[in-house]
Amino acid sequence: MPNDQPVRYDRHGEIAVITVANPPVNALGLAVRQGLWAAMDRFDADDARIAVIVGEGALFLGGADIREFGKPPVAPHLPDVCDRIEAAVKPVIAAVHGPALGGGCEVALGAHYRLAVTGARFGFPEVHLGLIPGAGGSQRMPRLTGVAPALEMMCSGAPISAPRALEIGLIDRVAEGDPRKAGIAYAGELLAEGAGVRRTGALPCPTHDAAAFAEARAAWAKKAKGQVAPLVAIDAVEAATRMDLAEGIKEERRLFLDLMQTPQRAGMIHAFFNDRKVSKLPELQGISPRPLDRIGVIGGGTMGAGIATACLLAGLPVTLIERDAASADKARATITGNLDAAVKRGKLKDAAATLSGLSTATDYAALSDVDLVIEAVFEDMGVKKEVFTQLDAVLKPGAILATNTSYLDVTEIAAATSRPQDVIGLHFFSPAHVMKLLEVVVPETTAKDVTATAFALAKRLKKTAVKAGVCDGFIGNRILATYRGAADRMILGGATPWEIDAAIKDFGLPMGPFEMGDLAGLDIGFMTRARKAATRDPRDIVPIWADEMYHKGWLGQKTGQGYYTYEGRKGTPNEAVMPLIETAREGRPQQAFTPEMIQRRYMAAMVNEAAKVVGEGIAARPLDVDVTLLYGYGFPRWRGGPMLWADTEGLPGLLADIQGWAKDDPYFWQPAPLLEQLVAEGRTFSDLNEATS
Ligand code: COA
């Protein structure tokens, strides 16, 4: 076969080497499946005595080609390719390096012998795409390892190392070095031993481990949080315990194809591709980031300490500035606590070594050699401007000045310096060393390579960065303020806070808005309302019952009562809130709200504001909103994001609902011009993603 083919066949003496070369990840698209099929035909026909399958590039095989999902499948199908490999009359070895994922793992299971070089990983990540293994994996793996390890891998989607794969019997040996060489050496040994074919599918059904199934079902019913695939994976593995291979593969295929039709599969694949598209901004193509070797952090409170922790965990040395030695010591203690907790969670080995990257100081002069400073002081324009003036005086030319603000005007902060081109907003989410989202807030004055550096920093910190324009609350908090507003309006219209929380959790969010308020502290909402009071439109409503709660000192979890009363962290509805709400409801029409009505209004408010955010260019594309809500606000990944939800529900119906609610509350339910435009043009948010990516 010529060299530009995705699957090559060559000979090393009596050994056939079948190489998959389909960059970037050797996905098993149609051409690769056809190539593997042809290679097996050739192996059958020629005088090679044994074959080795290897992957070229960084990994073995990255799994099925996800871009083909949702389209009609074209033969040869992957299960048939795996069967074809297993059916070979001469032995076949899979020599794995790097990840062997999903279909890649299944190809290895189709082979008769499996070798992995150090650094190889085996995984079934299909659940992260709303699917289960679909090419015999759920039937072959438990025949080799027993059901418990198969359940663990297929329900969690987490990969395992080569030594672990050896330990559970998934593979036959671990070798060092180049997979092709190691595979050829293994083939030589097997030939010398006269080893024959060894079909996994011919092994007896694994024992029905009732305890393992019961345990997995109980655990995943809780952990899956509305996601169906992990529970279906358990059904597939269970099929392996009572069906022969051919029957089991049919059953697995049936379950797989059912999942392929679900909105969850569509949602998770939407999220998979968005994860990769979100950092690819057309305006940053070809722009190199500035160097990032040393970071400064101003302020060692919860946010500053969290940001410093995130940087230290990424191996970036940090100089943290506090106002006095006692505050600096306190910040160091917070960071030490964060690192110790990371060790406990298994995320870090050596807390002391990581902490050695931290230095603290009280004088801004200590920042003279840093490449980027993140200011995390009090959210007050005057205080921030003061800090930026000082930074301007000490930082070296080309250093980046970043503000960690959640709503302030970054353009105004930039204007307080002599170098607005070097100023940018980096909105971290709390706890900053845990939460994945980083909103990169870009004033028009910011230089492109500064934005590119912010994205490079996010990558170093293993965070997902989303570019946002300047407005109150940027993308996430601006949208949050609106759907919180919808929840308050539903309370005034007759819903209770607990009905709303329950409906929102049913939808798939980890918490409802009122539980969230209790967790964050109800003083935060009060302060925000106070801040906005001067500019509030007279037609807007104020949740006066919430102000009452604040004045009573009911601040949520930290005071033991808010919308819930707390024993530890467990809350029960605080009925004492109802009289305050009743007072606020006086003179307003009341109605009963079903969970579906609550979810629809909440989501409609979210989508309508998001459409304004996209329409105004605060978010570049609908997908930027989807990623923001997923990584910063607990939106369920299996729903893809609010914009995908809106497309799936249908934009015309959503707009009609908004227009209907606008009859009673025209101020709040002003339809987004972009939503009206898309409906008029018969287009969707997904169309807009396509047009702008
Ligand atoms: N099918 C189609 N395209 C895929 C793919 C797959 N299975 N896996 C990755 N890609 C694409 C990505 O979209 C990306 O495309 P882009 O450059 O146009 O954005 C490119 O390959 C590189 O992927 P990326 O994730 O950026 O590379 P990485 O080196 O960081 O990670 C993997 C490589 C294989 C670990 C990772 O891509 C992955 O987990 N892929 C999904 C594997 C999977 O779920 N397989 C089972 C399918 S059922």
Atom of ligand 1 nearest to the CA of 128: 44
Same domain, 239 and 321: no
> Which atom of ligand 1 lies nearest, measured to the CA of 133?
48
Q: What is the pLDDT of residue 226?
A: 87
**Ligand 1 atom closest to the CA of 272, numbered from 1:** 13
Q: Residues with catalytic annotation? A: 406, 427, 439, 477
Determine the distance separating the centroid of ligand 1 and the alpha carbon of 62, expressed in angstroms: 7
In a domain, 113, yes or no: yes
Say whether pLDDT at 199 is over 70. Answer: yes
The model's pLDDT over 200-247, given as tens digits with 9 standing for 90+, comes to 999 999 999 899 999 999 999 999 888 999 999 999 999 999 999 999
Query: According to the model, what pLDDT value does residue 532 have?
Result: 87
pLDDT of amino acid 239: 97
User: Do both 387 and 446 map to the same domain?
Assistant: yes
> Which residue, 405, 438, 461, sits at the end of a domain?
461
pLDDT tens-place string over residues 42-76: 999 999 999 999 999 999 999 999 999 888 889 99
Does a structural domain hold residue 235? yes
Same domain, yes or no: 413 and 557: no
Average pLDDT value for residue range 156-172? 98
Q: Does residue 437 share a domain with residue 557?
A: no
The alpha carbons of the chain give a radius of gyration, in whole angstroms, of 28
Q: Examine the domain organization and report whether 18 and 166 are in the same domain.
A: yes
Residue with CA at minimum distance from ligand 1 atom 20: 24
Does some domain include residue 419?
A: yes
**65 CA closest ligand 1 atom index:** 1
DSSP code per residue over 516-552: HHHHH-HHHHHHHHHHHHTT--TTS---HHHHHHHHT
Where does the pLDDT of residue 2 fall: very low under 50, low under 70, confident under 90, or very high at 90 and above?
low
- For 289, 291, 336, the CA distances from 294, given in Å and listed in that order, are 14, 9, 19
Q: How does pLDDT run across 331-342, given as a tens digit for each residue?
A: 999 999 999 999
Q: In this predicted structure, what is the pLDDT of residue 94?
A: 98
Please report the pLDDT score of residue 39 as a whole number.
Answer: 98
Both 457 and 483 in a single domain?
A: no
CA of 25 to the centre of ligand 1 (A): 6
- Give the domain CATH number at 325: 3.40.50.720
How many domains does the structure of the chain reveal?
3
Ligand 1, atom 28, lies closest to the CA of 25
430, 461, 492 — which closes off a domain? 461
CA of 441 to the centre of ligand 1 (A): 28
The percent of residues in the chain predicted with pLDDT above 90, rounded, is 94
253 located within any domain = yes
Q: Are residues 495 and 410 in the same domain?
A: no
Question: Mutation test of ligand 1: which of 25, 26, 28, 280 has the most ligand atoms closer than 8 Å to its C-beta?
Answer: 25
């996601």: which residue's tokens?
A: 227
* CATH code: domain of residue 34: 3.90.226.10
Residue 496 lies in a domain: yes
Q: Which residue has the tokens 């080569």?
A: 162
Nearest CA to ligand 1 atom 29: 25
Q: What is the CATH number of the domain that holds 577?
A: 1.10.1040.50
Rounded average pLDDT over 549-553: 97
244-302, pLDDT tens digit by residue?
A: 999 999 999 999 999 999 999 999 999 999 999 999 998 999 999 999 999 999 999 99
For residue 568, name the pLDDT band (cuts at 50, 70, 90): confident
Whether 282 maps to a domain, the answer reads: no
Overall average pLDDT of the 503-511 stretch: 95
* Mean pLDDT computed over every residue of the chain: 96
Whether residue 469 lies inside any domain: the answer is no
pLDDT category at 141 given cuts 50, 70, 90 is: very high
- Is residue 234 domain-shared with residue 175, that is, in the same domain? yes
| Atom 14 of ligand 1: nearest residue by CA position | 276
> Looking at the structure, do residues 300 and 173 belong to the same domain, yes or no?
no
Instruction: Report how far ligand 1's centroid is from the alpha carbon of 264 (Å).
Output: 19
Banded pLDDT at 3 (limits 50, 70, 90): low
Cα 179 to ligand 1 centroid, rounded to whole Å: 21
Residue 451 neighbours by CB under 8 Å, 6+ apart: 281, 283, 284, 287, 424, 440, 442, 467
Asked whether residue 15 is domain-assigned, the answer is: yes
Vertex 287: Cα angle to 285 and 288 (nearest 5): 135
**Residues 25 and 64 reside in one and the same domain:** yes
Tell me: pLDDT of 1 over 60: no
Ligand 1 center–CA 28 separation, angstroms: 11
Q: Which residues pair with 19 in a beta bridge?
A: 8, 54
Peptide bond into 24 cis (omega under 30): yes
With vertex at residue 420, the alpha carbon angle to CA 376 and CA 460, rounded to the nearest 5 degrees, is 50
What value does the mean pLDDT take over residues 115-125?
97
135 plus 160 within the same structural domain: yes
Give the domain-ending residue among 428, 461, 494: 461
pLDDT band at 379 (very low <50, low <70, confident <90, very high): confident
Q: Containing domain of residue 323, as a range?
A: 295-461
The alpha-helical segments, DSSP class H, found in 131-178 are 137-145, 147-156, 162-167
Ligand 1 neighbours by CB, cut-off 6 Å:
24-25, 27, 62-67, 99, 101-103, 125-126, 129, 131, 276
Same domain, 406 and 514: no
